[in-house]
Structure 1
Amino acid sequence: MILLALMSMLVVYSSTGSLAYKMYKGNTEVYLFKQIAFTGVGLFLIYFAHMVNYTLYSRIARILFLITIPLLVYTLFFGVSLNEGSRWIRLPIINLTFQTSDLAKLALFMYISRVLSRKQDDIKDFKKGFLPVILPVVLVCLLIAPANLSTALLVGATSMMLLFIGRVQIKHLLLTGAIAMVPIMMLILAAVWQHHEGNGVRARSEAKSRLTARVTTWVSRVEAFMYGNNGSKNEEDDNYQVNQAKIAIAKGGFFGLGPGNSETRNFLPHPYSDFIYAIIIEEYGIMGGAIVLVVYLLFLYRSIRLFRKCPYAFGAFLALALSFTLVIQAMANMAVNVNLFPVTGVTLPLVSMGGSSFLFTCIAIGIILSVSKYVEKNEQQQQSEPEGQETVEA
């Protein structure tokens, strides 16, 4: 976490220099100080969350999940809109916005970890075992998807992996996956049809409702990913973002241009959030990008070891679920930056510029450390037992 946070400060300072100069009349350090403040708050949240006994999270999981559902409904209809999607709600007193989907992910994985740990005897049964764990996942994904389809897909994929590890029947997972593939295939077919129909479809789709506009955006992104473009110069176009990211990666080469020497940051939209990985590669080269990738994989490896050592099912499932969602989100962000996935709105955990996503990521890491602390205490107790006691018990 410290390695990623240090990388974040360097790259956020570099990628926001021009924006800060424009917005704050020459003061280019504003966003750097904000990122340092977010990192300090994040470290406090990690420390606080890791001091709490992880079994307490099992007790509050149901309450937190029940609070999340009306928040998602409120966000869907009355939230702050950006790019035709309602993803944020504004807190009235402190006048700050946060993404309810971040809270929903945390609450959902705590809740299904609790249900999985309690349903292991009936987990193979469709009604008693499968439905109680899949219905919360479906509900949360349906509420998130209209405004943030990419996050809903990531939550669904993480949940499916967790259910597979939780010994859910393969046929039940395959059935769920087949149903989920139907709307995805419809998006792909719509993108193919729109590409062959041409600009007439786009012209007819301008005066649409917000939901219809979001569907049009999804279709356009899939179309752009499948067919590319002819060198778009529109900064709002997804192809423009992808092309600028490719330029940044090409300029970076193997060892990069050096810290603070990015040139594409002045042209690439959102270089401090969605496309920060392209700036990392431009400044630190493929080697720097590979180091970031290895850090996330090391984080996942440590979490898997923790899962294997944890003696209780809830802690094991909780640590694995939270680590899966962070690493899968990181992989999705990096894949978008190198044009392996269509453009999405997901950030690079702990590296993109601070916000509600950064703070909820820190809480998730604190919960993982809480489980880890208990496992370490358990191992120390076992090692400190008298050698003769094991013989007597045997």
Structure 2
Amino acid sequence: MTDVMRGGRKPMARLGRADQSPMAVWFWEIDRVLLMLVTVLIAIGLIAVAAGSPAAAHRYSGAAMTFPPLYYFWRQLIWVILSLPVMLGVSMLPKQMARRLCLAAAGVLMVCLMLVPVIGVNVNGANRWLGMGFAQFQPSEFLKPVFVVSLAWLLSLKQQDASLPVVPLSGAIVGLIAVLLMAQPDFGQTVVFIAMWGALLLLSGVSMRWIGGLALAGVAGVIGAYLFYPVATRRINDFLFQAGDTYQTDMAHDTITAGGLFGTGPGGGTAKFRLPEAHTDYIFSVIGEEFGLIACAIVVLLYLVIVARVLVKLLDEEDSFTMLAAAGLATQFGVQAFINMMVNVGLAPAKGMTLPFISYGGSSMIALGLGMGLLLAFTRRNPFLKRSPYLAGRGATR
């Protein structure tokens, strides 16, 4: 074989199993099935936003139709293009570097969250954004993934020193975040943060006394929110007693069932034009109308498979921090999807929460890219650990 021919084969060989370059190591360690599932979800999201975009453009541009029908689709495509490098770049980080990044980012974003009531931007009656114009971002969206990793690190310290008061300290931090979110108001995100904290406490092995006490505190918190927090009072009353305006939930039900099992076909939906936030909060209903309830079931299955794959992969994880961080990120991803879909089918009160990787949104898409990148980083496995003691030693030092 000639040198030219050998030279022609070198680029392909660079990702061979013997190659220890950073790109090759990443390629063999990354969970490629998980990456593929997320890519499929993003592709479905682009199709769904294209379906919901005409309804949103009509709603927000009025009779003048200043927005073209696919206005939100093209914007979402830009957000996807921006989020993919974030996801892949973060997935290449070593676990220690990813942890340090999250701890630093969590501190900065906590400060941003405190600034929202002071200098935040009001959109649709909620004060959740910082910045102006195209540069607006929602601190709570970016805080979710880095908070999970930071909380996992804090709770993992208990394995080193059981006397550390990590549970009350983490509870105080979650309480502060909940107060700041409820002031915006953002009841849905508050639920997600508390759910993530509860899941991580269970996984960290805290005593049943703590779990029982926190369960009672949770029940008391829900009752207190209903009695003294007007946003929760209104939404719970609307959901349980049909006491107020139920237009959104009624239209979501009508839209998701309008297409039957197989849908009206792309662009064939009409109920979506009466649906508020067809491209964000209620995009799952748009999928139901245009692509059918079978398509909705496939989307649900995708989320379940992603979460289940992560949790099953962690069954033999020995490092407590890695296990808590990855499980927490998977829980955050699954809980957010579950809440959004429950709202769309009328089994939960409206919360203004997006469907991960499917709903339109700049802050949401980039923050999800960050979170999924972290999840991919913490689920990376060296495929040679059980085959070669030499490579196992190298993998342990990376």
One fold, TM greater than 0.5? yes
Matches of 1:189 and 1:133, distance apart in 2: 26
Q: Which runs of 5+ in 2 are unaligned?
A: 1-37, 391-398
Matches within 5 A, 1:293-308: 293-308=300-315
- The alignment covers a number of residue pairs equal to 349
**Secondary structure of 1:380 counterpart:** coil
Q: CA deviation digits over 1:170-229, x for unaligned, max 9?
A: 221222232232241134457xxxxxxxxxxxxxxxxxxxxxxxx433322111101226
Q: Aligned match of 1:113 in 143, 152, 174?
A: 152
1:364 aligns with 2:371: yes
State the 1:256 CA deviation. 1.6
State the 1:83 CA deviation. 4.0
How high is the TM-score relative to the length of structure 2?
Answer: 0.82
Q: Aligned match of 1:216 in 218, 224, 230?
A: 230
Matches within 5 A, 1:25-104: 25=66, 27-90=68-131, 95-104=134-143
Q: Aligned match of 2:286 in 269, 274, 279?
A: 279
Matches of 2:70 and 2:53, distance apart in 1: 9
Q: CA deviation digits over 1:105-148, x for unaligned, max 9?
A: 1232121111122212445x5x6342233222222222222221
Question: Which one-letter code corresponds to 1:349 in the other structure?
Answer: P
Q: Aligned match of 2:219 in 177, 181, 199?
A: 181
How high is the TM-score relative to the length of structure 1?
Answer: 0.82
1:381 aligns with 2:382: no
Matches of 1:361 and 1:285, distance apart in 2: 26
Matches of 2:179 and 2:39, distance apart in 1: 35
State the 1:17 CA deviation. 1.2
Q: Aligned match of 1:156 in 185, 194, 208?
A: 194
State the 1:95 CA deviation. 4.5
Question: Which one-letter code corresponds to 1:85 in the other structure?
Answer: A
State the 1:20 CA deviation. 3.1
Specify whether residues 266 and 95 from structure 1 end up closer, same or farther in structure 2 by C-alpha distance, changes over 3 A only: closer
State the 1:361 CA deviation. 0.6
**Secondary structure of 1:153 counterpart:** helix
**Secondary structure of 1:381 counterpart:** coil
Match in the other structure for 2:335: 328
Question: Which one-letter code corresponds to 1:382 in the other structure?
Answer: K
| Seq. identity, % | 24
**Secondary structure of 1:259 counterpart:** coil
**Secondary structure of 1:119 counterpart:** helix
Q: CA deviation digits over 1:345-370, x for unaligned, max 9?
A: 11000000131011101111111111
Matches of 1:218 and 1:366, distance apart in 2: 33
Specify whether residues 274 and 58 from structure 1 end up closer, same or farther in structure 2 by C-alpha distance, changes over 3 A only: same
Matches of 1:43 and 1:6, distance apart in 2: 12
**Secondary structure of 2:103 counterpart:** helix
Match in the other structure for 1:208: none
Specify whether residues 344 and 136 from structure 1 end up closer, same or farther in structure 2 by C-alpha distance, changes over 3 A only: same
Residue range with higher mean Cα deviation, 298-307 or 169-178: 169-178
Question: Which one-letter code corresponds to 1:175 in the other structure?
Answer: G
State the 1:310 CA deviation. 3.2
Matches of 1:26 and 1:281, distance apart in 2: 24
Question: Which one-letter code corresponds to 1:101 in the other structure?
Answer: S
Matches within 5 A, 1:230-379: 237=245, 239-373=246-380, 375=381, 377=382, 379=383
Q: CA deviation digits over 1:335-392, x for unaligned, max 9?
A: 001111111011000000131011101111111111222x2x1x42322349xxxxxx
